[in-house]
Amino acid sequence: MFHPFIEEKGVRLIGAEAAGEGVDTAKHSATISAGSLGVLHGAKTYILQDEKGQIMETHSVAAGLNYPGVGPEHAWLRSTGRGEYYGITDVQALEGFHSLALLEGIIPALESSHAVYQSMQVAAKMRSDEQLVICISGRGDKDVHTVAKALPNIGPLVDWDLCF
């Protein structure tokens, strides 16, 4: 998603990563915000590791974000300052999920819900002549049971049985 815009200096590249229960806890997957340089699967990148270089466990409400490393493009964008990255907690991602489903009728994957939440924060500070593009990279029908367990009060707002 970022690659076509890298040379467009007027375009902000904003990434959202899984802060789980918070980057100040041991339960997150925020490799860019809280990781350090190391080697994982043969690649030098930002990883979640302990003081001895051992890979740490990860956590995110989004199963696809439970990984202790980050790809080379995001590592480069972070190290050069070209990309901005923000840790989005599980609760915030669920808010993004709920907002997009309720307001637009689109059920995003929990992975994409992190970006939805961050885009809501960015959009609140934008001028009316500015544009925002969000990558919604998956469908959320596979995640509705996870969301229903995480947010018990969501039942009256959305009939999850209609989502299948």
Structural domain includes residue 92 = yes
Q: What pLDDT digit, counting tens, does each position of 104-127 carry?
A: 999 999 999 999 999 999 999 999
Number of domains into which the chain is organized: 1
Query: What tokens appear for 54 in the block?
Result: 């051992």
| CA dist 16 → 19, 39, 58, 86, 153 (Å) | 9, 22, 16, 5, 25
Classified as helix, coil or strand, 134 is coil
* CATH, residue 157: 3.40.50.1100
pLDDT above 70 covers a percentage of the chain that reads: 92
Is 152 within the bounds of a domain?
Answer: yes
Other C-beta atoms lying within 10 Å of the C-beta of residue 124 = 7
Token pair 């992975």 is at which residue?
111
CA 64 to chain centre: 10
